[in-house]
A and B are shown apart, each in its own frame.
Chain A
Amino acid sequence: MKKKIIPFVLLLISIPLTFTCCVKDTCEDSYTYTLYKPVYETVSQLKANIKSGSPEEIENPGKIVILGHYIFLNEIEKGIHIIDNTNPASPQNISFVKIPGNIDLAVKGNTLYADSYADLVTLDVSDPAHVSLKDYKENVMQSPVAFRGAAYISQYKIAGWEKKDTLLVESCGGGGVIALQNEGFYVSNAANSASVPAANNSKEVGTAGSMARFAIVNNYLYTVDNSDLHVFDISNSDDPAFLNTTTVDFHVETIYPFGNKLFIGSNDGMFIYSLNGSPENPVKTGEFTHARSCDPVISDGEFAYITLHSGSSCLGYNNELDIVRLNMLVDASLVQIYNLTSPRGLSKDGNLLFVCDGSDGLKVFDASNVLSMKLLQQLPIGDAYDVIASNNVALVVTTDALYQFDYSDPANLHLLSKISVLKN
């Protein structure tokens, strides 16, 4: 027994001494930075460049407006694609209008209104292939686009960003998550945010998606920014006149016109503003408060449909569709909740409700009875975030493509066309 134990004792004594030389713990964190260097232009240079150019690939689709045979699609922070949709089975991308800092748009007749940072751009789109600038109003709203640490230079605007990816590796605990570096470069590893489309009040006004922040009712353009509702008189389309600003709430997200009401969605609820009597000065007539979340809202007059989704800066935890009864369009009460995956934009045509449900794609519901809606079809088309359903054609924006579906048979949607998004 002794003989057997001796080698073991020797082993215990000698081997650990040898092995301890190689004891070490390391931790590295890596972070992919995308550096954006601002490219400045004077206002006159920037205005001179706002015009039609040759069509460009869709890379980061944002909000959409449909008017007549044309689709106006925002390329986030860069401009607007104009797509001839005369034949929905074969849409033609015909031109691109460069508008730096553009997120939102609205169209009435031959005039397109768009934001460029905090400025309002008015364009003549009577010939969509040859768009021209009609008017440019500076600093009339709060820019939805962060300047990202870029220096503000008087008389200059940011016309674009030069992008450069960098991988930073450091020892753990060596720094924060986001930092500003190098002469106003913006530092982030995040993909650009995506945004989306609104509603409609006459055939002369473009139909937008539920996530629009611009809305036109008759001769007035209403825009919302983070906290305010701005009103412009557009009776003279060559020279829209800023009228006034009303503070709505913090974290305002969307605006949806219906009849003589504006439905404004914010992180914390939905607000109803009446345009009766004084469209230039909307008056708040009702509100519905919900748990904090991102929430586009639409309405059919009797009910408001609000989608709440988590997983964003809105900080909510709910993923649901709230249906709210509107009492005389002045007040609201919750009547039904449907749990969904990650609902975003939505659209209603008759009794059909179309909901973009994040990675679940597009869901089509029979909403003839809002207390008991029936799912008619689910289209797994990737990360869908807004839809416009009109005249039996559903235009769906996803992170991968712009789809058009024929829903004349709502239980069996038929793909008409798909314009793919260019992947970087």
Chain B
Amino acid sequence: MLLVLMTAVSQAQSRKLEFHSLNSVAITAGEGRATAAYETVNGFEFSTWFAGLGVGLDNYHFKSIPVFMDTRKYLGSKKLVFLFGNIGADCPAQKQAAKEFTYHDYYYFKPGFYADAGIGYRFPVIKKPLLVFSVSNSYKSMHARTGVYTECLIAPCPVTFKDYHYNFYRLMVRAGLMF
């Protein structure tokens, strides 16, 4: 087992397993609004593939922190153009109630789903870092629950819940530096 692992690592090293850190700012544009977003993706490039983990700050409609796995495939011999996809969870960082929350005594947000797929281009201004631009369709969902205490004479009084399900399909344009 150890031998197999050492062989794999050795082969990977010989084919240049490179660590990269990609740090981007983005404009997230959707129906009637555009907001800024930030993210960092850190992972390894191997041959024409890259895989890493990313975390960001997404201000679209609700503040949230997407945590995702990033995979990208570089095209061509120069590996400048790439296709990429992200998939993960969207963790709420929202504190304020949404305007839809009518008649609530309390509310809380629950995590949703995060996904993103698009195409990008990278090129060196000088040798390093690389400038990376991409455009993608991004999706995030979020859930919220509100509670209203129902009047009663004998405690504990029942609570009435209402669930909200949000789906946001946006266009995301990123610009970043890859180290």
Contact = CB atoms under 8 A, between A and B. Distances in A.
A103 B154 contact: yes
A32 interface: yes
Interface residues of A, number: 53
B162 A15 contact: no
B102 A177 contact: yes
B169 interface: yes
A11 B133 contact: yes
Contacts of B120: 11
DSSP class of B's interface residues: helix, strand, loop or mixed? Answer: strand
B160 A188 contact: yes
Contact of B135 (A12, A24, A172): A12
Given A29-B165, A177-B162, A7 B121 contact: yes
B167 to A, nearest CB: 5
B150 A19 contact: no
Interface in A125-164: 144
A48 interface: no
B157 A19 contact: no
A25 B149 contact: no
A195 B154 contact: yes
B154 A193 contact: yes
Contacts of A22: 137, 169, 171
Contacts of A189: 160-161
Contacts of B154: 62, 103, 144, 193-196, 211, 213, 253
A11 B160 contact: no
A385 interface: yes
B142 to A, nearest CB: 10
B162 A30 contact: yes
Contacts, number: 148
B136 interface: yes
Interface string A165-193: 00000001100111000000000111111
A24 B169 contact: yes
Contacts of A294: 155
Interface stretch (A214-222, A274-282, A309-317, A412-420): A309-317
B150 A27 contact: no
Given A8-B123, A190-B158, A193-B156, 14 more contacts: A4-B80, A24-B31, A24-B169, A25-B30, A26-B166, A29-B165, A172-B164, A177-B160, A190-B160, A193-B150, A193-B154, A195-B155, A312-B157, A313-B157
Interface of B: 29-32, 61, 80-81, 99-100, 102-103, 118-121, 123, 133, 135-137, 148-171, 173
22 contacts: A4-B80, A7-B81, A16-B171, A23-B29, A23-B30, A23-B169, A24-B167, A25-B61, A27-B167, A29-B165, A30-B165, A31-B161, A103-B153, A177-B148, A190-B158, A190-B160, A194-B155, A194-B156, A225-B153, A312-B157, A313-B157, A344-B156
